[in-house]
Chains A and B, each alone.
Chain A
């Protein structure tokens, strides 16, 4: 599968809008993307219901945030106000948002944002931008969805496109075709396109720590169509590592190859991983051992460094 990674510094932001699809491969049952105001700030809120749960988790990002904050997965009881805590990489929540009243999928949501330390309150007014669920609205599978925070500096979103699946009369499949990385100001700094990747709601990008820096990296999984069976299947893992010197995420071709062959295992120490040859490996493989990513290269870790 081919993809390209482009630096698009200088381009202005595409407004953060829309959400995404939910499909056969998705973890989320329904995703609701709201936009509106939090006090005098513009805000985007994604509420995500997971299968089997009567509750929501999600994301919240204001125009002043560099990255979204997480809304804790919280049970919802019909007919009651919905209070959801806000986690900003802190040990305990710093704020909460209360919607009163709250109805799943409501066109408008009203409530308040409460600072749990100072009890300062701000009014929250939201309007539903898009709804995504299993097969109800095929058009809903095309859009852009904010991702769980991976970097404190970036807002990352995925774009989904199920036109191909719809053409094959399988509208329930969501396919991610593009990842966009934006700066705090909303400037697009990287687009990774040409993808065919499994959509998993706001968790499409799974955070991992591949190299030994302070930045999280991510892994995604390809979505492959099998013309023989007409099914969409999970494919191989694709690792992307944030290269601080370049200011962007770079694909890790060698790791992807190793992962596809099942020869790649995480170690507890961040930035190190184990490579072990399979019994049937006849490839021109490196030695078994501990490795790390440095720049674009994968290099062995010596005993004294482990």
Chain B
């Protein structure tokens, strides 16, 4: 029996708590009135996070926090371009589950976003759209793992079937439309959560790099404006 099946069973049984589960989670919902997409990844007792406003689709990196730093929620800081905190996000660490069909549950969570300067606070309501476990992805077969790095026009996601699987592809997504622009084939690299894909500038050229170079044979990619796609560098 897979971990997913166990969790699904618990959820169907009406148990609402999935906190502490080691699973990457893709969430969608609203921050105030603005639709957002968020990705959370627990790893070695640290929770990593990234989110974007669906209107702009520019990933905003959240400062990593200890999973157990607070008893009931994850306390993330949203950082500005200088790396300084601009807002505190509190995301409840438990999910509420609701049976919505045979073998189907809806999981939701909530939180707050508070601006450090003004104190203005907005409500977050989020629904789980996917979870990535050690042996499966839900709803499957693969879940798009949102990446923190982005370029002016594109953001990236990595389709994963389990969080132990190798990265075999990177999906280049349009910030403007949210649609898939290109799928880059990768020769099997270790999954590194929201930092699997990196955007680096070398000799004035913006490059896309995937995985840890010590263990990964993936080439770098550069954007070919004429062709409208990434090419192997």
Contacts and interface: CB of A to CB of B under 8 A. Distances in A.
Interface of A: 52-55, 72-75, 77, 81, 83, 85, 91-93, 96, 98, 114, 116-119
Given A75-B46, A116-B116, A116-B117, A85 B85 contact: yes
A33 B229 CA distance: 54
Interface of B: 44-46, 63-66, 69, 75, 77, 83-85, 88, 114, 116-117, 119
Given A92-B114, A116-B116, A74 B88 contact: no
Given A81-B83, A92-B88, A93-B85, A53 B66 contact: yes
B65 A52 contact: no
A273 to B, nearest CB: 22
Contacts of B114: 91-92
A85 B75 CA distance: 11
A283 B44 CA distance: 50
Contact of B65 (A74, A114, A118): A74
Contacts of A85: 77, 85
A73 B65 CA distance: 8
B65 A117 contact: no
8 contacts: A52-B45, A74-B65, A74-B66, A75-B46, A92-B116, A96-B84, A116-B85, A116-B117
A179 to B, nearest CB: 27
Given A85-B85, A116-B117, 7 more contacts: A53-B45, A54-B44, A54-B46, A73-B66, A83-B84, A93-B88, A117-B116
Contacts of B75: 72
| 8 interchain residue pairs of minimum CB distance | A116-B116, A92-B88, A75-B46, A75-B64, A73-B69, A73-B66, A92-B114, A117-B117
B153 to A, nearest CB: 28
Contacts of A77: 64
Contacts of B83: 81, 83, 98
Contacts of B66: 53, 55, 73-75
B144 to A, nearest CB: 25
A72 B66 CA distance: 10
Contacts of A55: 46, 66
B41 to A, nearest CB: 13
A52 B68 CA distance: 12
